[in-house]
Amino acid sequence: MTDLTKYTLDEALGGMNKGDFTSVELTQAHISACESATELNAFVTTSFEQALEAAKNSDLRRAKGEIGIIEGAPLGVKDLFCTDGVKTTAGSNILDQFEPTYESAVTANMNAQGMVMLGKLNLDEFAMGSSNETSAYGPVINPWRKEENLVPGGSSGGSAAAVAADLCLGATATDTGGSIRQPASFTGTVGIKPTYGRCSRWGTVAFASSLDQAGPIAKTVKDAAILLQSMAGYDEKDSTSLNVPVPDWKASCGKSIKGQKIGIPKEYMIDGMPDDIKKLWDNGIEWLKDSGAEIVPISLPHTKYALPAYYVVAPAEASSNLARYDGMRYGLRTNGSDLNDTYARTRTMGFGDEVKRRIMIGTYVLSAGYYDAYYLRAQKVRARIVEDFENAWYKCDTILTPTAPSAPFALGRKVVDPVEMYLNDIFTVTTNLAGLPGISIPAGLNADGLPLGLQIIGKALDEDTVFATASALESAADFNSKPAKWWIK
């Protein structure tokens, strides 16, 4: 029998529509794939029984002609989205036993469109990290392992690894500074962070509220379009949710990009960028030219301040958001001699090192004596970065950059040096600071045979053009390498 996990989401939906296989069969195939891939540590929690039940119900709905956008598709959910009755840990010990009694808006939208959820995917603790090594549930292993274990990127490392290893047809993820796009780049998958406000943040564990945005990780650009359509939409429970229609983004894939102007920001050509990433960027330029686009040089002059600004703003918001974990209402409680001691012990035991570091940085930059010097200054930089993009849009329609300044690196290599880890986000944080959509697509392999991604950044709410451009790039790059399935014994 054919291996049903080899299909893309779009193909699998078509296969079910034609009656080639059922959602139950498709789900069973993916459950077996998950069971033989425990070595990757992609899941924190699996929900296979519920998944089979959901698949059965989906097959019944399909028989009646009730077919949602992702009807019957076995998918994974980053363990940052609250799921009613299914443990939601945010990768943290402090939420180890937290079982929400409500469903996040994003997963509720997907359930309404026929999602079959296989389980909750591993991530950096509270989505803070670029390698999935800060998770309280252990690191995820990149399916593209070579001689040594490599990180899958982060924070959505479980989502990216699961999609790359064919454990699910697609997955939800979140991106505060690159956590959808950088893991996509590290695993040869597609990941899009839409415009800020496209997906409701309601019921998603908060990291930095002015930057957090949900989006999918998928096998192809078209799959990402389908998934995003199932996730997005206005929600009155999130005051920053945008009340705009959700287009049929699948229709944008494959549209001509003839005459489109694509900006190449000179500031992204950073010192020390590996040659194969430079080469890939050049290839991207040629591919887009061949597709009829016009390449224009642009300048985003405040790029060099983006990382420092991000690593002030994000911890500041995190320190405030994480104040709620005091052992009273959620998850872990470690009793102390009095209330303050209980708070202190709970937080000491519950949070890992990186989260504590962010809380300390955040509290420091917001404190009375340093607010002006750090937080206020970072907000001013943020405004300049927004302006940089606004000026760029006079010259171009989208921007092409590499997704990350490196290929997937070895487990344990950067986690010892937080600043080196932060540098990996250099090409992704700018779009979060400006609220713009950005997509990463796999575009080639480096000299060691590891995947590398290219990023397309678009104007706010112009995911249409982003999908059209990404799909042109995808066709030209013709990336069809897959990791060898070494974990199947």
Q: Contact residues for ligand GLN (CB under 6 A)?
A: 127-130, 155, 175-179, 207, 314, 425
C-beta of 114 vs 362, nearer to ligand GLN: 362
CB of 347 to ligand GLN, least distance (A): 19
| CB proximity list for 77: less than 8 A, separation 6 or greater | 83, 107, 117, 119, 120, 121, 171, 172
Bridge partners for 439 per DSSP = 192, 456
C-beta of 433 vs 454, nearer to ligand GLN: 433
C-beta of 124 vs 235, nearer to ligand GLN: 124
Report the distance separating Cα 129 and Cα 397, nearest Å: 31
Q: Are 381 and 245 in contact (CB under 8 A)?
A: no
C-beta of 59 vs 124, nearer to ligand GLN: 124
C-beta of 121 vs 468, nearer to ligand GLN: 121
CB of 336 to ligand GLN, least distance (A): 30
C-beta of 113 vs 159, nearer to ligand GLN: 159
Residues carrying an active site annotation: 78, 155, 179
- Closest among 414, 205, 215 to 318, alpha carbons compared: 205
CB of 232 to ligand GLN, least distance (A): 18
How does strand 116-121 pair with strand 74-78?
Answer: parallel
CB of 368 to ligand GLN, least distance (A): 25
CB of 408 to ligand GLN, least distance (A): 14
CB of 181 to ligand GLN, least distance (A): 9
C-beta of 130 vs 220, nearer to ligand GLN: 130
Compute, in degrees rounded to 10, the torsion defined by CA atoms 321, 322, 324, 325. 160
C-beta of 425 vs 464, nearer to ligand GLN: 425
CB of 486 to ligand GLN, least distance (A): 27
CB of 34 to ligand GLN, least distance (A): 24
CB of 105 to ligand GLN, least distance (A): 18
C-beta of 368 vs 419, nearer to ligand GLN: 419
Report the distance separating Cα 22 and Cα 72, nearest Å: 8
